[in-house]
Amino acid sequence: MNQTPSFDPSPSAPIVHLPRAPRPTTHVISNSMTITIDAGADATRHALERLDLAAPALRALTELGLDDRVTLRPGGMTWHQHGGRGPIDVDVDIAVQPRDEDGSLLSITTRFSATDESARLRVLDAWALVGPLASNLAERAARTVKDYAERDSFDDDELGEWYLRAA
């Protein structure tokens, strides 16, 4: 006698799991920029050491009343969400490479890392605002480094308020 297999919806029916590609534990969205600086790599690195490039972002967060949601850490900050939702890490990588004897390349990459799917979706929802803001801050920082590195003198007295506010 030939029996046709039938579908058994009972809880005792075996469950088949298909293999899935492992999901990353962190979801990353980033933007990058590179500019040419008419100063050697040493002068560009010196400018990076002298300037506080995080100051404009911190001032903006303070003025918006959002500074209590941010924890600063080396290389970036962590954004804490209301209601204990997953945090978003913001990392800034800055690299200087020699271009030639009298020039260098400055690259700035900003990465927004979410540790869960919900946080990743929040970053994507906010990207229309966050993406251009991150780009603008990186451009301001790059322009300030470029202006400072291309100067002939690095006297402390010449740094002035303009450079500190323009960063």
The CATH fold of domain 27-166: Alpha-D-Glucose-1,6-Bisphosphate; Chain A, domain 4 (3.30.530)
Q: What is the mean pLDDT of the chain?
A: 79
pLDDT of residue 92: 92
The alpha helices in the chain, defined as continuous H runs, are 41-50, 55-63, 117-149, 160-166
pLDDT digits (tens, 9 = 90+) for 18-46: 454 444 456 788 899 999 999 999 999 99
Compute the 3-state secondary structure of the chain and give helix, strand, coil in percent, each to the nearest 5: 40, 25, 35
Q: Where are the domains of the chain?
A: 27-166
Give the residue ranges of the chain where pLDDT is below 70.
1-26, 84, 152-167
- Give the count of beta carbons closer than 10 Å to the beta carbon of residue 91: 17
pLDDT value at position 152? 60
Note the pLDDT of residue 150: 93
Residue 110 burial (CB count, 10 A): 23
